[in-house]
Chains A and B, each alone.
Chain A
Amino acid sequence: MKLSTKLTLFITGSKLAIVGLFILLFPFLIAQIASNYTNFSLRNQQKKVIQNINSKGIDTYLEGEESYGSYTMLKDEYIALETAAPNLRLDTIRDTRRIVDQDTLAYRVLSFTFTQNKKNYLLEIGKTTASINLYNDALQRFALYVLIILIALSIVIDLVFTRQLIKPLGQIIKLRLANTRFPFKKKQVYIKTSTQDFKYLDHSLISLMDQINEAFEKEREFTANASHEFMTPISILQNKMENLLTEESASETVQEHIVDMMKTLERLKKISRSLLLISRIENEQFSKHEQVVPEKLFDEIVEEIGHRLEEKNIRIDVALKHYKTLDRMNHDLLFQLFYNLINNAIKFNKENGYIQITDSIEGNLYLIAVTDSGQGIKAEEIPHIFDRFKKTGHAENAGYGLGLAIVKSIGSYLKLTIKVSSTEQEGTSFVIGFNNNI
């Protein structure tokens, strides 16, 4: 899951959880507030009554009678003042029932005794419990609306902000990782961000990419230089031997030795040339704007390699049926690629074996398969067959182990897919896929 999705889910989820919790607790909180407020207002009323009595005397209420009572029209509130037993002491607020004018109602009642003119009085102020909770629902609903609006607003703000915040991360992923392919040729520009962590990540990635490029560049340069530097001494040795061979003083044995040395030198020369070819491909020194017709290409290869087929009496069957023209290719490189594959198919084949060249279309890939009836490749060796100097399989003339390395570098330069499947003792199939040539 992407970080932004996770953050969105987390922000929304946590806020909704808070809202949920609040909705659950809200009735209790409101009830608590209403109850506390009621107690507070009862005490206030008590204070006012006592003040009135203190300043104006108890008769303001009693008017000479034993008791005083008053209630509001709907009996929501009442007040009662009466003489009490001399030793009664009360100062409480509690929920209880009272009969007011023949109606029994639930009240919250403040009971308070006090002494005035040496007489004990009991003051009761009551409020119906129904009226206490009268505004709870409305209050709750209103608070809920406000809450939802606030939460929605804060979710929106959070999302916009986090999106803005992690935007550089997305850019880093897109620019440095998703859309780049090795070697990283494009000049990398630092991403603009004020977040220290992203800056660090971005700078580190760019410096890593530079390091990889540099290492690759060095290896490439080394291969090119080394194989190139070999050429001059090889030239000298080779030409010296050639001249030596034509010396009249050279006996037959000496001549044979010279030819043996030339063969060894030839090996060195071919290895250097192969490495030089690989480095030239990696340095992109070949054009990619040629059109290649596979039928013609295989005709050329078969002509070139025909004598090798004859030697082992191997039948080659070129059965291409799609008559394609491959665009944006390099003729010589494709020649080299299929030449190497077919050459291997001969080398590792049995006497009287066969080689099949077939084509097919799969999705937007045009596929050419080179299948042989040879000794096959062990499954555990398949991942390594394209490595340089890796020799697998057994043949009288196994080569230097650069043939498939060349195939691989040509494949990646021309952006071809290469798939290998093999069954031991039955044969191997190399499938080369050409994109966008349909």
Chain B
Amino acid sequence: MKVLIIEDEKTLAFEMEKFLRKAFYLCDLSHSYKQGVEKLEMNQYDYVLIDLGLPDGDGFDLLIKAKKSNPDAAYIILTARGKLEDRVAGLDMGADDYLAKPFFLPELHSRMQAIARRKFKVTEELIPLGNFNIDLQKRFVFFGEEQIELSRKEFDLLSYLLLHKNRVLTRIQLSEHIWGNFVDDDYDSNYIDAHIKNIRKKLNIYAPTEWLETVRGVGYRIKK
């Protein structure tokens, strides 16, 4: 999968590239509107990540241009402006998703995966996880034929860890995914622990959950 990252903040672009490369994406970087247009004319991409605040041109403008040369790509708008109108305008102009900076890299990755599922109509079968099977689309956890009730947040947490299997996710990364980036006055929430405890409790009735690891001092990981 080829990704074009159009971001004028070079360090940021580089960090995104580093992360996505590990997840086996091929990344191209451009640091300006002009460069972005050139790259888009020359290559075909699966994903285009556009920063709205480019120094030499309007990001929305670039989106419209890009959609002409790369009609099949998935577009994600990145912005530090975080304005509601930007989000609405971006989605109206045909962007597939929108992320407000700062965002966590696993979040970016999972949004890309979600678009892929939606766009390419990937109807995944049940994903095996230990002795359980997970249906990400219908949001079910099965033990054999039996369906296990998880709360909405518990399922979100489990599927997010599953999408990033073998990667440690910190409590903060998990919190932001589950509670979104809506403004909260707390800085040390251990509520993730409570949810993990509940998930383990509910699943342990059926089978051991040793695949759901606690990484001391860091966070959690699903090992497969």
Give the interface of A toward B (CB within 8 A). Answer: 228, 231-232, 234-236, 238-240, 242-243, 245-246, 252, 255-256, 259, 262-263, 266-267, 269-270, 273-274, 276-277, 280, 285-286, 303-304, 307-308, 310-311, 332, 336, 340, 343-344, 397, 399-400, 402-403, 406
Contact = CB atoms under 8 A, between A and B. Distances in A.
Interface stretch (B39-47, B100-108, B130-138): B100-108
B217 A307 contact: no
A262 B172 contact: yes
Interface in B1-23: 9, 11-12, 15-16, 18-19, 22
B183 interface: yes
Closest 4 CB pairs of A and B: A399-B185, A235-B102, A256-B217, A239-B15
A239 B19 contact: yes
B53 to A, nearest CB: 8
Interface of B: 9, 11-12, 15-16, 18-19, 22, 80-85, 101-106, 152-153, 167-168, 170, 172-173, 179, 181-189, 191, 194-195, 215-219
Contact of A307 (B102, B106, B194): B194
B12 A239 contact: yes
A256 B218 contact: yes
A308 B186 CA distance: 12
B83 A285 contact: yes
- Prevailing SS type, chain A contact patch: helix
Contact of A245 (B9, B83, B168): B168
A285 B85 contact: yes
Given A308-B191, A399-B187, A285 B84 contact: yes
A397 B181 CA distance: 19
A252 B16 CA distance: 23
11 contacts: A228-B82, A232-B80, A232-B101, A239-B12, A239-B15, A239-B104, A246-B168, A255-B217, A270-B184, A311-B191, A340-B185
B185 A274 contact: yes
A266 B187 contact: yes
A259 B218 contact: yes
B187 A400 contact: yes
B103 A336 contact: no
A276 B80 CA distance: 11
A307 B218 contact: no
B185 A403 contact: yes
Contacts of A273: 181, 183
A263 B219 CA distance: 12
Nearest to A266: B172
A191 B197 CA distance: 70
